[in-house]
Amino acid sequence: MRRWTGFDLTPSEEVVRQYGAGLWITDPVAESFVEEVYYGEIGPERGRALLERALSEGIDAVEEAPESMRALFAEFDTLPPWADPQLIEAGAAVWRRWGYDMGSIANAGTMDTYTEGWLATPLSLAGGYAGQGAMHRHLETSRWWLECARPGAALDRYSVARQITMKIRVMHVSVRRGVRKHPEWRREQWGEPISQSEMLLTLIAGSVAPGLGLWAVGYLTTRSEMIAALHFCRYLGYLLGVRCDDIYPETVADAVRILYHFDATRAYDGGDASRELVESFVPSFTPSPDSSPANRLRGLFHLQLQAGFTRLFMLPWNRRLYRIPNGWLGTAALVARAPLVAAIELARHAVPAVDQRWQRGKMRRWEHWIDWQSGAHTHDFQDLSAMRR
């Protein structure tokens, strides 16, 4: 590749070393809080109440907060010195333009990574993205994406986005706790569950990966917009406990190199967990038998659309490992609408008013879909320390 293009796909030795070391590092600040509060004398019920109060009123309102909780919120409430508020908001605007399609391509890309046991096993054991729970967890994640994308939400200490983010961070601690003790977890081979390196990959999957991939379906995301999305995701990662500052990509090329390193070092050891996660996601969009004709048609459309995203954005040799709906109808729909999307993208680059309307429309349709698909389901980001097998 370097000989033909002048671009070296291989990351530096230092990045490779720190990426490998990051497989063994988790989130000690949040883990100290959960250990002391949820599994200590305070207990989970009162611990959740203290967390809710700190999120809604601030940590100073919780007089009985232990030191581990104060340390967690001191971090959560502080804007890191590298953070650029204008760049963070520019990155949120990129998410608003992508809307529903960002979640769809992110899921297709994530499904492609489930060949790896260190990524698939925690999700399979916790059960959130497996079987019938796949849709519910996708909706919870979509709600978080949507809330984070709202103007100013990521930087607003009391926004819904910030509250959900902290709950996800605590939930990650619970999942790690359960997975670590499970006999299926191969610590010597995989490191720690939900490690720093794993979370780094998810941040790239929310920025550069869709920024490049969505060009295929009409989204004309510029290099500077991808850099903004990278910065936005870095800040969201900071709130989630990600501390990969030394190797966090600052350019599109650096992000691509990390993705290439992941792909080049695949072990294809996901086994049954991999198949369960991948093969349950698209079918989870199947409408219930008692749906009205209109809702059934709408549900089948989204099923085909999701299958189309997997056909376009999963590596073909990986997709062939699984039984997934063929997705040709969804692929055709995505390709057919690409010229219209590209035309709007060209217009929004030229006219700020078009851009604002594009963002508002995409957010509105995304939220309508989440509300419709959720029905009576609530997004609670519950404790997942109890493994399902």
Q: pLDDT (tens digit, 9 = 90+) per residue, 334-362?
A: 999 999 999 999 999 999 999 999 999 99
pLDDT at 389 over 80: no
Is pLDDT of 328 > 80?
yes
Please report the pLDDT score of residue 128 as a whole number: 62
Q: Are 227 and 256 in contact (CB under 8 A)?
A: no
Q: How many distinct structural domains can be found in the chain?
A: 1
Residue 278 inside a domain? The answer is yes
**Residues with Cβ < 8 Å from 52, sequence gap 6 or more?**
none
The answer to whether residue 13 is domain-embedded is no
Tell me, yes or no, whether 26 lies in a domain.
Answer: no
- Measure the CA–CA gap between 365 and 313, rounded to whole angstroms: 22
CA distances to 36, 220, 229, 248 from 324, in Å:
43, 29, 30, 33
For the chain, what is the total number of helices (H) and then of strands (E)? Answer: 20, 0
Measured in whole angstroms, the distance separating CA 156 from the mean position of its chain's CA atoms is 20
Nearest 10 degrees: CA dihedral of 89, 93, 98, 103?
30
The whole-angstrom separation of Cα 232 and Cα 294 is 38
Q: Is 203 a domain residue? A: yes
pLDDT reported for residue 126? 85
Count how many Cα atoms sit within 13 Å of the Cα of residue 189 in the half-sphere of its side chain. 13
Task: With respect to residue 21, please indicate whether it lies within any of the assigned structural domains.
Answer: no
| High-pLDDT (> 70) share of the chain, % | 93
The model's pLDDT over 44-66, given as tens digits with 9 standing for 90+, comes to 999 999 999 999 999 999 999 99
186 closest CA partner among 261, 270, 276, 277: 270
Asked, for residue 231, whether it belongs to a domain, the answer is: yes
Q: What is the pLDDT of residues 159-199, one digit of tens each?
A: 999 999 999 999 999 999 999 999 999 999 999 999 999 99
Contact, 141 vs 103, CB < 8 A? yes
Average pLDDT, whole number, for the chain? 94
Per-residue pLDDT band at 39 (split at 50, 70, 90): very high
In a domain, 367, yes or no: yes
The CA R_g of the chain, rounded to the nearest whole Å, is: 21
Instruction: State the pLDDT at residue 336.
Output: 98
Q: What is the pTM of this model?
A: 0.95
> What average pLDDT score do residues 10-23 get?
97
Which pLDDT does position 134 carry in this prediction?
A: 85
Distance, CA of 290 to CA of 296 (rounded, Å): 9
Distance of CA 168 to the CA centre of its chain: 11
* pLDDT score at 292: 96
Q: What is the pLDDT of residue 99?
A: 98
Residue 285 lies in domain? 84-374
Strand, coil or helix: 222: coil
Question: What is the number of residues in the chain?
Answer: 389
Residue with more model confidence, 127 or 220: 220
What contacts 24+ positions apart, CB below 8 Å, involve 341-346?
341/217, 341/218, 341/219, 342/218, 342/219, 342/220, 345/97, 345/218, 345/219, 345/220, 346/220
- Distance of alpha carbon 348 from alpha carbon 341, whole angstroms: 10
Which residue bears the tokens 């530096």?
A: 12
Residue 213 lies in a domain: yes
Residue pair 358/341 in contact (Cβ under 8 Å)? The answer is: no
